[in-house]
Chain A
Amino acid sequence: MLEAIGLRSAEDLFDSIPRELRLQRPLNTPAALSEIELLDKFEQMAARNPAARRISFMGGGAYSHYIPTIVDHILSRSEFFTAYTPYQPEISQGTLQTIFEFQTLVCQLTGMEVANASMYDGSTALAEAVLMAERVTKRSKAIASTAAHPQYLEVVRTYVQHAGIHLELVPFDERTGQSWKSLAETVDNETAALVVQSPNFFGCVEDVAALADAAHAKGALLVVVITEAMSLGLLKSPGACGADIVVAEGQSFGVPLSFGGPYVGLFATREKYARQIPGRLVGEAYDKKGRRGFVLTLATREQHIRREKATSNICTNEGLIALAATVYLETMGRRGVQEAAHQCAQKAAYAARAIAGVKGYSLPFSGPCFNEFVVRGPSKATDLLSRLGEDKGIDGGIALSRFMPDRQNDFLVCVTETNSREQIDALVAGLAELGRG
């Protein structure tokens, strides 16, 4: 081939790179591994993650839910996972129709009118929602509470730091673990976005409808963020409560924990704001013969057309993970999503009651919970949880001191449909044993 194009050596291919800029040595990365050696290396590293083998009650933005076998099967089809962004609709209808279904499912769950083709994850979707609220309202203040996921708040802070938006944090109610009252009291005529997470980081459900009224009375948009999307199977949709933008982490819908990603951000809003939405949108279209198809649409919002005036810089999104969520939601369907949500809530209620009955343990917040709740233990939560992991093979939750240094004894417990009663009883017994010192 070199000969065919008139070159003598591979080195000649790089003649346009000045010689002094060319690397004169091999890379320092290791020599090639065979498949056997490679798998062995990764299996050895995987073995150094003992937490992956434990019974887990960890949530806090990433959840262990049942994943039907067919999800990964569909995902692994070449035609989906090795396809590019569907810029050529005639040969991308599989991807495009899937996204159209994904957008519809997100609308149905959130109670909203339009949804996009996905964002990177829940945290960046929230940041984009705040930026969108600023565009819609032409105001520059966002109000959120300290009961929202701490990492989500950090991401919002990073995104808005140069956009002239001020992020104000209000405290939550120490008694209920909820924040809707303080949020409703703080919203004012300068507020672009009133941000509420429900269920919040402590698992407590907020009064979203009350917040919608409070936000709208001041001309602000209500942004609802959800980290545990399974809650949508049980809780009133944010749309029905009056939300203007709803964002969520979709990992609960068929996506493995995978140490934090790739996950999928859901983004939904009202139809009147469709042209302010960030990211890709798929719409219905017809060909000359009147056949229905689907196509990327309203692209004039996007960076490849509008450049610095685009609604967002996002290009690549989470297509394949949106497919996973779509397969999951269609397989579980109308009944399955509700049943899974119901089981989460019932099992969490069972666990909460049992733990509250153990000497030395209490539930510090009175607000109603979905499938996560805060437990106050008799001693430092980090020590307690680490002993529970090592001695009993149970990851009992997340120590809140990692995010809130004044909460040394508090930890967040999450229960899903995958946790059997036997596992919950083992958790309770383990906590009781360790609580005795």
Chain B
Amino acid sequence: MQLSFAPLRLCGKLLFSMTTGITKVTTHISPNEQLIFERSQTGRIGYRLPALDVDEVPLEIPAEFRRDDDLEGMPEVSEVDVIRHFVRMSTWNYSIDLGMYPLGSCTMKYNSRLNERVARIAGFANLHPLTEEHDAQGALQVIYELQQHLADITGLPGISLQPAAGAHGEMTGIMIIRAFLDARDGAAASHRRTMLIPDSAHGTNPASAHLSGFSVKTIKSTAEGLTDLDHLRELCAHGEVAGLMLTNPNTLGLFERNIKQICEIVHEAGGLVYMDGANMNALVGIARPGDMGVDVIHLNLHKTFSTPHGGGGPGSGPCCCTKELEPFLPLPRIVKSGEQFRLDYDQPRSIGRVKAFFGNYGMMLRALSYSLTHGNDGLREATEAAVLNARYVAAGLIDDYDKPFAGAPMHEVVFTDKRQSRKGVHTLDIAKRLIDYGFHPMTIYFPLIVQGAMLIEPTESVGRQELDQFIAAMKSIATEAVEDPELVLNAPHDTRIGRLDEASAARKPVLRWKPSTD
């Protein structure tokens, strides 16, 4: 190998120093691509529409209702300008296709190209959402079939695919709980307005509960990292508990083994149990929330079912619930009557609509494609591989990093910076140094209850070789933290930009480009 590479390097040097004598005085523009507005040149265009083929007439829209700024400031660029602009910027991104993305609780798994192809089939992509149902039977069939799959996977038969993301599904689920309690208890339900949420929960949980008109009480975790049953009983003793929002496995990557008992305690107190499905990648094909006593759950199709994260979305956050809660799901329901699929608006107890049209339909196509290409066995195997990979990382790092909870992790594992912080190296520094090793950092400082948390979720989309490289990188950083802490504190070293001054950015926010005034 060395032999074949060495002459190339030599060749390159010769080209520069002897053949042409070129000395590189500037770097290529790629790492310094400007904002498109700074590239704009008056009069440049990058599109062509057909000539207007109807006779132009004076419009009825009065002049004072029309734009008079000629959209000044909007870019004027050519097509190749746009292509280069985005391709250059794209090189500044890490992505799943480059490598492991071990973000705990985010489930960054491979996004199959086949799913993308399915979503682009013209018969779906060109279909208007207000098409009459008899002209959109295939599209409704996709929704219906995905509902069937999710019902079997969760053990919860009532499904709505309308919510657009996890937090949206949470809000939907909590509003369903509220509507159910109002229907069951009548006026007495107004005293039942407390939602219990563990201290390890995602921030969206309390925010969604608040949006649904609940106040939040926090449940403590035990030293083992599980829900504190005594504290739960105590909080349930006063009759105002509407429900519990629980992530399982929890955000420490631990399965709440008392889940059945937890559900019973909440049910006996007259409340319902909501499960945050962010961590379903640990359970698909293995265990079902419906069998544990959970009443309602949301799933993240953009996590568990591999629909792409797209730099922050779109997501899809289906809400799945028991038969008892089904009448409260958002409208319309997609149902099957005989061989026909139809929209059912006749659900007077529904919480209402949570989004225009049907939800993020393109994500449903991808998720159904994911489920069908994996098959029932494959779904289970993916779960096994995801948990195996996390366990492998847990075992690989145990000698170098503090693992605050002894329990065997499921699909993700939490470590801390306890040992490294003695040398002044903290979680943020370790995360940034990981970038130098070619990996995207893990989730950091979450869950909030673990000081200096590093939450690692490898997912099933990574093989042993890359896991070993990741473990080696983490071990090496642990050594560096002792031997050369400055190296870690100043990381990353080879990125386009260094650590940004986020405090100044927030103090005097610049949130848009403006033409310079000089």
With both chains docked as a complex, state the minimum distance between the C-beta of B387 and any C-beta of chain A, in angstroms: 5
- Tell me the B171-190 residues at the A interface (CB within 8 Å): 171, 175, 178
Q: Which residues of B contact A334 (CB under 8 A)?
A: 70-76
Interface centre among B123, B175, B410, B511 (most CB of A within 10 A): B511
A304, closest chain B residue (CB): B203
A215 within 8 A of B: no
Question: CA–CA, A343 to B114, complex, Å?
Answer: 37
Which chain B residues border A235 with CB–CB below 8 Å? 61, 65-67
Q: Could you tell me if A319 and B435 are in contact, using CB atoms closer than 8 angstroms?
A: no
At the interface, yes or no: A288 with Cβ under 8 Å from chain B?
Answer: yes
Contact of B121 among A2, A43, A104, A331 (CB under 8 A): A43
Q: B88 to chain A: closest CB distance in Å?
A: 8
Task: Please count how many residues in chain A sit with their CB below 8 Å of the partner chain's CB atoms.
Answer: 198
CB proximity to B under 8 Å, residues A263-302 = 274, 280-289, 291-293, 295, 297-300, 302
In the complex, the answer to whether B388 meets A13 with C-beta atoms within 8 Å is yes
Verify A261–B92 contact, CB threshold 8 A.
no
Task: Say yes or no: is B126 at the interface (Cβ < 8 Å to chain A).
Answer: yes
Does A253 lie at the interface of the complex (its beta carbon under 8 Å from any beta carbon of B)?
no
CB-CB under 8 A from A39, the residues of chain B are 114, 117-118
Contact of B93 among A26, A94, A104 (CB under 8 A): A94
Contact with A along B140-153 (1 / 0, CB 8 A): 01100000110011
| CB of B59 within 8 Å of the partner chain | yes
**B513 neighbours in A (Cβ, 8 Å):** 100-101, 104
Contact A49 B167 (CB under 8 A): no
Task: Specify the main secondary structure of chain B where it touches its partner.
Answer: loop
Neighbouring B residues of A257 by C-beta, 8 Å? 125-129
Q: Is residue B495 within 8 Å, beta carbon to beta carbon, of the partner chain?
A: yes
**B399 contacts the other chain (CB 8 A):** no
Q: Is the CB of A289 within 8 A of B356?
A: no
- In the complex, A217 has a CB within 8 A of chain B: no
A95 / chain B contacts, CB cutoff of 8 Å: 93, 311-312
| CA of A305 to CA of B211, assembled, Å | 16
B15 located at the interface, meaning its Cβ lies under 8 Å from any Cβ of chain A in the complex: no
Min C-beta distance of B229 to chain A, whole Å: 15
Interface presence of B244 (CB below 8 A): no
The interface size bin for chain B is 35 or more
- Of B2-10, B16-24, B360-368, B419-427, the one contacting chain A is B360-368
> B206 at interface (Cβ–Cβ under 8 A)?
yes
Q: Does B239 sit at the interface, judged by CB under 8 A?
A: no
Q: Within B190-219, which residues are at the interface with A (CB < 8 Å)?
A: 202-204, 206-213, 215-216
A13 adjacent to B384 (CB under 8 Å): yes
In residues 13-38 of chain A, which contact B (Cβ within 8 Å)?
A: 13-18, 21-23, 26-33, 35, 38
> Chain B residues near A137 (CB, 8 Å)?
none
- Report the Cα distance A309→B300, complex, angstroms: 24
When the two chains form their complex, are residues B36 and A26 in contact, meaning their CB atoms are under 8 A apart? Answer: no
A297-B287 CB under 8 A given contacts A30-B372, A316-B165: no
Q: A234-B61, A333-B45 are in contact. Are A261 and B359 (CB under 8 A)?
A: yes
Q: Are A346 and B501 in contact (CB under 8 A)?
A: no
Measured between beta carbons, the chain B residues less than 8 angstroms from A152 are 356
State whether B207 touches A258 (Cβ < 8 A): no
Q: Which A residues touch B388, using CB under 8 A?
A: 1-2, 5, 10, 13
Residue ID in chain A nearest B441 by CB atoms: A88
A297 to B445 Cα, complex, angstroms:
17
B336 in contact (CB, < 8 A): no
CB distance A77 to B86 under 8 Å?
Answer: yes
Q: Is the CB of B311 within 8 A of A18?
A: no
| B387 proximity list for chain A (CB < 8 A) | 13-14
Alpha-carbon distance A56/B60, docked complex (angstroms)? 24
Task: Say yes or no: B128 contacts A98, CB within 8 Å.
Answer: no
A316–chain B nearest beta-carbon distance, Å: 4
Give the shortest distance, in Å, between A56 (CB) and chain B (any CB). Answer: 6
Chain B nearest Cβ from A96, distance in angstroms: 9
Partner among B135, B316, B352, B407 whose Cβ is within 8 Å of the Cβ of A51:
B135
The CA of A156 and the CA of B47, in the complex, are separated in Å by 37
Q: Max chain A CB contacts within 10 Å: which of B260, B291, B310, B316? A: B310
Could you tell me if B213 and A163 are in contact, using CB atoms closer than 8 angstroms? yes
Q: Say whether B64 contacts A236, CB under 8 Å.
A: yes
Q: Are A79 and B95 in contact (CB under 8 A)?
A: yes
State how many angstroms separate the Cβ of B206 from the closest Cβ of chain A: 4
Bound: A31/B176 CA distance, A: 33
Q: Which of B37, B97, B213, B257 contacts A17 (CB 8 A)?
A: B257
Q: Which 9 A-B pairs have the closest CB atoms?
A: A46-B123, A320-B310, A260-B357, A32-B375, A162-B213, A260-B129, A319-B312, A48-B138, A262-B314
26 A-B residue pairs with Cβ-Cβ distance under 8 Å, sorted by A, are: A6-B395, A16-B410, A18-B260, A30-B372, A41-B372, A42-B142, A52-B122, A58-B131, A89-B497, A94-B92, A101-B35, A109-B74, A117-B312, A164-B213, A237-B67, A257-B127, A261-B357, A262-B164, A280-B312, A283-B505, A285-B500, A308-B206, A314-B168, A316-B314, A321-B313, A334-B72
